[in-house]
Amino acid sequence: MTQAEPQPQPATGSAPAQAAAQSAAATGRRKSYGRYVLGKVAGAASSLAFVLVLGFFLFRVLPGDPARTLGRGKFKTEEQLEAFRADYGLDQPLVQQFFTYLKNTAQGDLGVSYRYQGVPVSELIVDRLWPTLLLVGVATLLSAAIGVYLGVISAWNRGKAVDRVSTGTTLTFYSMPEWWLGLLLIAAFGVGIGPLPGLFPTGGLHSTEYSGDSPVTLGYLGDTALHLVLPVLTLVLVYLADFSLIMRSSLLDEIGEDYLTTARAKGLRDVVVRRRHATRNALLPTTTLIALSMGFIVSGAITVETVFSIPGLGLLATEALTIPDYWVLQGTFLVTSAGVIVANLIANLIYGLLDPRVRS
Amino acid sequence: MSATSEAPRVTPRQVTRQRRIMGAKRTWASFRRHRSGLFGLGLLTFFLLVAIFAPLLADPESIEVTKATGGVLESPGDYLLGTDENGRSIVALLVWGSRISLFVGILATLISMVIGTLVGLASGFFEGWPARILYRFTEWFLVIPFVPLAIVLATVLGRSLVNIVIVIGITGWASTAMLIRSQTLSIRERPYVERARLLGAGRWHQMSRHVLPNVMPMVFANTTLTVALAILAETTLSFLGLGDPTRVSWGTMLDSAFGVGAMTTGAWWYIVPPGVCVVLVVLAFTLVGQALEEVFNPRLRER
């Protein structure tokens, strides 16, 4: 859950940038971009290392005996348990298991799937990566773009009807479980309610005449896009508030600033003051938020994929849950966490480039 | 001293009490100006009353599968909102479900609050490597996406109500810690803390007497916001089949509704009402939390 909750942030708003600016001014030193990059990369690397250790800890240390947890009801005899332990190297000392785990993970070996009869987990993940990336990517970009726009309109018309309607609506969508909204949208626009016919496909990523390996034609792209409408709409609606509220509070921070008064005094039109001056500055803190929200959108995508049966990482994980397919769960945990960490790193690097004040 | 002794005797405790009452009155006066906050508070009171008085509103036997009286997925009629696949009244399930949903949300939040506040205070107040390590630790937890981690934890720990609370609690503290840390950093530099330091106050005294009381209002505002997220998290975990199958919550109701295909068979009365309850409660906590944030944070109030 956590940081991307839209609410705690309006309070802090662009506070990090301001605090950074203040401390930079106080020390009078500012790191070069190179050193900033180095620091951020080291931070991301330490996060990755933590995720690796956590992955090991969760799956091999916490349950006491993974063979028993894993094989709840599946292994009848002690021999089967022993065979399982030997298969997965669980009979070795923990320290040795840890090094084997590190070596294997570094080589891209994430173990084999129990459900898919020995198919390597890494292969499964690579197969399922694209639908998730597509869904998460499109949803993030759209909700960021629309959210920022709504936030600007809200802040500029603070307290007026537009602001109240926009804030109220985005907050209501924010309060919905993604998958529940997905189900409602399926009922309304997929199956159709009353006189309304079903407009969009209710599930999957392709129609039956196409598959994941089909040649990329215009028809194929159109078909995929049509299948993505409802799941993307679900995620966009739920995550709009993340962006609109931050943008709103960040722009409200700027509104009292002297440079805006100067811009107005120069005789610039209201629209120009808003677009060229206020919005550009207020956008900066939002950059990092896009990456932070990735973690949540990835989480949301897991349930949305399940509702819309989109063959992505989320569906892979939820299918693995019922078995439970241990190494598939571990693999999806490692890959999604790593993805979010890398996305955060990229956003931080861009932020540092756009706003030198944070490099302190 | 002689001048004060002639005045009516007032103990320091009475003074503090007076001040606290005044403070609470001011907070309420300021909160009352937020219409959305009041709306949220009203909603919240309603759901809390429903949860507390559940036994009066619906017979506890009415949600036992073996004692169900209705037909399978009966549409609204005899029962106000119809029945579920076991013939239980949806209204009774909603009433009893509010208990579990609110319980999980509030308890999980308490766990994240305690961890988050302790880590945040410590990493904001100490200097040098302990602070750096705590800060890193918080950052690590902050970037890990919630659902994958929760899935893993819930699978490993097993499915029970207590585990759900633990899972949500220990995955949600990082953002609180970050917020408390930044608050602590700013309070630490204020003149009164400096004065206490110069007068020889130890770290513990500074933290417990000066920093913590000043951070508390923000912790409180953040708590209400986190409860909203914890309730959402409970529905998501239930939907993924990680909820406690023996308890009725709004999340497990939604999960079974999805499981029996309530949406495709048109049994809207099974899937819409629990979702609406979740939305209303989450919205209520969010609105109250936002209003509190504005009340407690003067920087926001000025705008």
Cα gap B215→B22, rounded to integer Å: 19
The verdict on A183 touching B (C-beta cutoff 8 Å) is yes
Enumerate the residues of chain B whose CB falls inside 8 A of the CB of residue A253. Answer: 303
Backbone angles phi, psi at A112, to 5 degrees: -115, 155
CA distance B273 to B302: 39
Average pLDDT across chain A, whole number: 79
pLDDT over 90 for what percent of chain A? Answer: 15
Examine the pLDDT at A7 and tell me if it is beyond 60.
Answer: no
Q: Kindly identify which residue of chain B lies nearest to residue A176, measuring between CA atoms.
A: B279
Burial A256-290 (b: 16+ CB within 10 A, else e): eeeebeebeeeeeeeeebbeebbbebbbbbbbbbb
Q: What are phi and psi of A257, to 5 degrees?
A: -70, 150
Query: What's the rounded Cα separation, in Å, for the pair B52 and B29?
Result: 27
Identify the closest residue of chain B to A289 by CA–CA distance: B143
Q: Is A186 on the interface with B (CB under 8 A)?
A: yes
Which domains does chain B carry?
33-52+91-302 (1.10.3720.10)
Which residues 64-83 of A have a C-beta within 8 angstroms of B? Answer: 69
The pLDDT of residue A180 is 92
Taking the CA of residue A245 and the nearest CA in chain B, the distance in Å comes to 11
* Nearest of A68, A71, A112, A107 to residue A88 by alpha carbon: A112
When pLDDT is cut at 50, 70 and 90, the band that residue A21 belongs to is very low
pLDDT by position in tens, chain B (length 303): 444 556 667 788 888 888 888 888 888 888 888 888 899 999 999 999 998 988 888 777 777 767 667 666 666 766 667 777 777 788 888 888 899 999 999 999 999 999 999 999 888 888 888 888 898 889 888 888 888 888 888 877 777 888 889 989 988 898 889 888 888 888 888 888 888 888 988 888 888 888 888 888 888 888 888 999 999 999 998 988 888 878 888 988 888 888 887 777 777 888 889 999 999 999 999 999 988 888 887 665 544
Alpha carbon distance B196, A36 (integer Å): 36
| Residue among B99, B134, B100 nearest B116 (CA) | B134
Res. A13 pLDDT band, cuts 50 70 90: very low
Find the residue in A nearest to B228 (Cα): A175
A9 pLDDT higher than 60: no
Contacts of B104 in chain A (CB under 8 A): none
Nearest to A3 among B157, B178, B221 (CB): B178
**Position A74 confidence tier, pLDDT thresholds 50, 70, 90:** low
> Would you call A129 exposed, middle or buried from its count of C-beta atoms within 10 A (0-12, 13-18, 19+)?
middle
Which residue bears the tokens 């970050």?
B178
Contact present, A105 and A99 (Cβ < 8 Å): no
pLDDT tens readout for residues A205-241: 777 666 666 677 777 778 888 888 899 999 999 999 8
Chain A residues near residue B140 by CB distance under 8 angstroms: 46-47, 50-51
Instruction: Provide, as residue numbers in chain B, all residues whose Cβ is less than 8 Å from the Cβ of A7.
Output: 225, 228, 286, 289-290, 293
Cα(A311)–Cα(A326) distance, integer angstroms: 19
A312: left (phi over 0), alpha (psi -120 to 50) or beta: beta
The residue type of A183 is: L
Mean pLDDT of A135-162: 90
Which neighbouring-strand residues pair with B89? Answer: B83
CA dist., res. A1 & res. A4, Å (int): 7
Q: Do A172 and B235 touch (CB under 8 A)?
A: no
Provide the 3-class DSSP secondary structure of residue A267: coil
Predicted pLDDT at B197? 87
What's the confidence (pLDDT) of residue B212?
Answer: 86
Q: Give contacts of B138 with chain A, Cβ < 8 Å.
A: none
pLDDT at A100: 83
Residues 6 or more apart whose Cβ sits within 8 Å of residue A207:
A201, A223, A227
- pLDDT tens readout for residues A244-274: 988 888 888 888 788 888 888 888 888 888 8
| pLDDT (0 to 100) of residue A175 | 93
Backbone angles phi, psi at B83, to 5 degrees: -130, 165
Inspect the interface and report whether the beta carbons of B143 and A295 lie closer than 8 Å.
yes
3-state secondary structure chain B: CHHHHHCCCCCHHHHHHHHHHHHHHHHHHHHHCCHHHHHHHHHHHHHHHHHHCHHHHCCHHHHCHHHCCCCCCCCCCCCCCCECCCCCEHHHHHHHHHHHHHHHHHHHHHHHHHHHHHHHHHHHHCCCHHHHHHHHHHHHHHHCCHHHHHHHHHHHHCCCHHHHHHHHHHHCCHHHHHHHHHHHHHHHCCHHHHHHHHCCCCHHHHHHHHHHHHHHHHHHHHHHHHHHHHHHHHHHHHHCCCCCCCCCCHHHHHHHHHHCCCCCCCCHHHHHHHHHHHHHHHHHHHHHHHHHHHHHCHHHHCC
pLDDT band at A17 (very low <50, low <70, confident <90, very high): very low
Torsion angles phi and psi, residue B73, rounded to 5: 45, 50
B268 interaction partners in chain A (CB closer than 8 Å): 187
Answer for the pair A53, A330: CB distance below 8 angstroms, yes or no. no
**Number of H-type helices and E-type strands within chain A:** 15, 0
Could you check whether the bond before residue B12 is cis, i.e. omega within 30 degrees of 0? no
Q: What pLDDT is stored for residue B184 in this prediction? A: 86
d(CA B8, nearest CA chain A) in Å: 43
Residue B1 is predicted with a pLDDT of 47
Task: Give yes or no for A324 touching B (CB within 8 A).
Answer: yes
Identify which of B64, B261, B239 has the alpha carbon closest to the alpha carbon of residue B164.
B239
Q: Which residue has the tokens 């756009």?
A: A354
CB nearest to A332's CB, from B141, B148, B300: B148
Q: Is residue A176 pLDDT above 90, yes or no? A: yes
A27 CA to centre of own chain = 35
pLDDT value of position A172:
94
Confidence band of A26 (pLDDT split at 50, 70, 90): very low
Distance to chain A for B233, nearest Cα, Å: 7
- A 103-132 residues with CB below 8 A of B? none
Beta bridge mates, A120: A112
Nearest CB partner across the interface for B283, out of A5, A12, A171:
A171
pTM: 0.83
